[in-house]
Amino acid sequence: MTPEENYHDWLRDAHAMEQQAESMLSKMAGRLEHYPELETRIKQHIDETKQQQVWLNELLDRHGIDNSSFKDVMGKASAFGQAVGGMFTSDEVVKGAISGYVFENFEIASYTSLIGAAEQVGDAEGVRILTQIREQEIAMAEWLYQHLPNVTQQFLLRSAEPGVEAKK
Ligand code: MG
Ligand code: FE
């Protein structure tokens, strides 16, 4: 395979990853009831994720890559499996926040690899767009990292209170 062919495959993978990100984040936000700060930040990142899909679509179009034949990245994105696996447990908000952090870091690693590929094939516009997307993933990962202790502590307080729902 040529560097361009691999690069194009990875752009498709990134688009599929963002579709999964949107689906995962939407499920989480849709279930949250008692963690408004977390819910608000997730909803903000859903908007960013949709924008990322638009940017990736433009990039795919510009390279003449067929959007209809996206590869199934499910098996590759093991972080995503973990994220979904944490749902519907008695501590799903904590498991979800941890999995969200893992998933954002999976995205950061994917874009860091993709930026290296874009540089190698001489796609300066790709480097620019992919770096812009990666900034949003870094910001989301950082937010989750900073707020994980507080989400956990809120959960613990609610969980200790009889008759109070803690998990979401
Ligand atoms: Mg993303
Ligand atoms: Fe993300």
pTM: 0.90
pLDDT recorded at residue 73: 52
The range of the structural domain enclosing residue 22 comes to 3-160
pLDDT recorded at residue 106: 97
Q: Is the pLDDT of residue 42 over 90?
A: yes
Give the torsion sign (CA, 92, 104, 26, 14): negative
Find all residues with CB under 8 Å of 138, minimum gap 6, and list them. Answer: 104, 108
Number of domains forming the structure of the chain = 1
Tell me the pLDDT of the chain averaged across its residues.
91
pLDDT recorded at residue 71: 54
Among the bound ligands, the one closest to the CA of 53? 1
Token reading at 20 = 């999964």
Cα of 107 vs centre of ligand 2, distance in Å, is 6
Q: Is the pLDDT of residue 137 over 60?
A: yes
> What is the CATH number for 82?
1.20.1260.10
Q: Is the pLDDT of residue 67 over 80?
A: no
Among the bound ligands, the one closest to the CA of 17? 1
Token reading at 25 = 């984040």
Contact 130, 111 (CB under 8 A): yes
Cα of 156 vs centre of ligand 1, distance in Å, is 30
Identify whether 135 is part of a domain: yes
Q: What is the residue type of 105?
A: N
Cα of 160 vs centre of ligand 2, distance in Å, is 32
Find all residues with CB under 8 Å of 69, minimum gap 6, and list them. Answer: 12
The pLDDT tens digits for 68-124 are 655 555 544 555 555 555 567 899 999 999 999 999 999 999 999 999 999 999 999
Q: Which of 89, 86, 121 is nearest to 9 (CA)?
A: 121
Identify whether 168 is part of a domain: no
Identify whether 154 is part of a domain: yes
Q: Which of 95, 87, 93 is nearest to 35 (CA)?
A: 93
Identify whether 65 is part of a domain: yes
